[in-house]
Amino acid sequence: MVDYLLSIWPQGRMDWLALVDIAIVAFLLYEVLKLIRRTRAVQMVFGAVFVVGLYYVSEMAPLPTVNWLISDMLGYIVFAAIVLFQADIKRGLSNLGRAPFFRYLARHRTTNETIEEIVVAATMLASRRIGAIIAIERELGLRNYIESGIPLDSTLTYDLLISVFQPESPLHDGAVIIQENRVAAAACFLPLTVTPQLGTQLGARHRAAIGLTEESDAIALIVSEETGQLSLALDGKVEADITSDQLKLRLEALTQKSESVKRHRVARQTLAP
């Protein structure tokens, strides 16, 4: 295997540039595998491998008709794959942007005061069974979703959050987005997830929160109007029926740069059954 790699390497020898080249390719392949894991793209990969294998078989056999058909359709297949799997591709590029190399571009972290205001508001909304979605921006910007709602750019207080989600408020239908410790916008439209594994017990709010966290690294807090339960969506998954204390620990562990790994583990253990 090593001899084969040396034979196809242009310089014919392995130096530090070759190692860097191999490391970059390995990293990209690893990200692609993470991207397609547990998604519809897995079937696409199997199909692509089959088509490529059939192409080489048609070259060696030879099978000129099969070879011509695959060669002629290859460009169209690539464009079709881009259109069908654009959400997965976008999520993969977003994951690349979260690499440690880009950490110096990180935004301001959510403060303890902001977390306290959010937790108090969510607890009061849950006690009154008033539905709500509160999204917290992290590394990836949520400008597209902010522009879909009503811009506020207001100081974050629990009174403001509770007022926004009152049924008689014109802004209650939609999500509130928190950006750099301020209420950036309300009545924001979020993308609904299309994940088929979700059960019918999850309503539109939960699906919207999951959809947002599938396309970004944001945190989405959901207050159920039917049950009054608090849920937290992250990376396309939901932590359901959490208490206000657990919510505070999770938000601190997920948004505070100064939080230690131990604190994060404690929050995870608290949520464990």
78 with 116, same domain: the answer is no
52 with 132, same domain: the answer is no
C-beta of residue 209 within 8 angstroms of C-beta of residue 167? no
93 with 130, same domain: the answer is no
pLDDT digits (tens, 9 = 90+) for 86-102: 766 666 666 555 555 44
What contacts 57, CB < 8 A, 6 or more positions away?
Answer: 63, 66
The full 3-state SS of 224-250, as one line of letters, equals CCCCCCEEEEECCEEEEEECHHHHHHH
pLDDT (0 to 100) of residue 186? 94
Phi, psi dihedrals of residue 266, rounded to the nearest 5°: -65, -40
215 with 167, same domain: the answer is yes
58 with 124, same domain: the answer is no
In the chain, what's the furthest Cα-to-Cα distance? Answer: 74
pLDDT (0 to 100) of residue 268? 54
Provide the 3-class DSSP secondary structure of residue 111: coil
To which H or E segment does residue 48 belong? helix 41-60
- Mean pLDDT split into 10-residue runs, the chain, 273 residues: 54 68 84 67 75 84 83 78 70 58 50 89 93 90 88 92 92 91 92 74 86 89 91 90 90 66 47 51
Sheet holding 237-242, edge to edge: 150-155, 182-188, 175-179, 132-136, 219-223, 230-234, 237-242
Peptide bond into 62 cis (omega under 30): yes
Tokens representing 53? 């294998």
pLDDT (0 to 100) of residue 270? 52
130 with 59, same domain: the answer is no
Domain containing 214 equals 112-271
228 with 258, same domain: the answer is yes
Integer Cα distance of 228 and 131 in angstroms: 8
120 with 98, same domain: the answer is no
pLDDT (0 to 100) of residue 18? 75
140 with 223, same domain: the answer is yes
136 with 245, same domain: the answer is yes
From residue 264, give the alpha-carbon distance in Å to each of 9, 249, 252, 256, 272: 45, 8, 8, 10, 13
100 with 131, same domain: the answer is no
24 with 41, same domain: the answer is yes
Last residue of a domain, one of 56, 78, 104: 104
Last residue of a domain, one of 73, 104, 135: 104
| Structural domains in the chain (count) | 2
Q: Residue 231's domain is classified under what CATH number? A: 3.40.1700.10
E strand map for 156-212: 175-179, 182-188
pLDDT (0 to 100) of residue 97? 58
As a whole number of Å, the end-to-end CA separation of the chain is 48
pLDDT (0 to 100) of residue 184? 93
Last residue of a domain, one of 72, 104, 136: 104
What contacts 216, CB < 8 A, 6 or more positions away?
Answer: 94, 138, 140, 142
What contacts 16, CB < 8 A, 6 or more positions away?
Answer: none
pTM to 2 decimals?
A: 0.61
C-beta of residue 114 within 8 angstroms of C-beta of residue 108? no
